[in-house]
């Protein structure tokens, strides 16, 4: 058996503002933006570099989904984003307005800090030793 997780659905308020955040603030790539109907698009973004899992940006369509925007995991860490140079990326992202909980700190496994996306989902940002 050969399986893999290809994408993770992220519920967003608006396609364009989410694309702007991931592309222009986090430096992700826009992999696909296909119109499916008058109200639905298939939008995928992914970190540059090693390609793996992409985020499928999905516009909230009902009250339950709207309530989940910014709270994908009930307040816990949503995703773990790895980098090969956390200080470079931290400074770049912070200068572009990304909200960090603290500066990167040294841990036994590497350097880590938390940041939030435009809706408040929390990401663990890690540079492994």
- The total domain count for the chain is 1
Helix (H) or strand (E) holding 10: strand 7-12
pTM of the model: 0.92
**The pLDDT value given to residue 1:** 86
What does each C-alpha distance from 84 to 37, 101, 102, 104, 115 come to in angstroms?
39, 20, 19, 13, 17
**The pLDDT value given to residue 26:** 97
- Domain of residue 64: give its range: 7-128
Residue 86 belongs to domain with CATH number: 3.10.180.10
**The pLDDT value given to residue 4:** 86
Q: How far is it, in rounded angstroms, from Cα 126 to Cα 2?
A: 28
Assess if residue 19 is contained within a domain. Answer: yes
**The pLDDT value given to residue 117:** 97
Assess if residue 1 is contained within a domain. Answer: no
Per-residue pLDDT tens over the stretch 29-77 = 999 999 999 989 999 999 987 667 999 999 999 999 999 999 999 989 9
Per-residue pLDDT tens over the stretch 30-41 = 999 999 999 899
Assess if residue 30 is contained within a domain. Answer: yes
Assess if residue 2 is contained within a domain. Answer: no
């Amino acid at each position: 058996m050969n399986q893999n997780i290809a994408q993770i659905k992220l519920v967003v308020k608006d396609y364009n503002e989410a694309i702007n955040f991931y592309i222009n603030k986090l430096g992700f790539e826009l992999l696909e933006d296909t119109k499916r109907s008058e109200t639905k698009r298939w939008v995928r973004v992914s970190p540059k570099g090693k390609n793996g899992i992409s985020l499928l940006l999905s516009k909230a369509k009902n009250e339950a989904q709207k309530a989940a925007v910014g709270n994908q995991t009930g307040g816990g860490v949503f995703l773990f984003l790895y980098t090969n140079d956390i200080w470079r990326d931290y400074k770049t992202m912070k200068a572009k307005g990304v909200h960090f909980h603290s500066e990167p700190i040294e841990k036994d496994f590497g350097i880590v800090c938390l940041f939030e996306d435009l809706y408040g989902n929390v990401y663990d940002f890690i540079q492994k030793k």
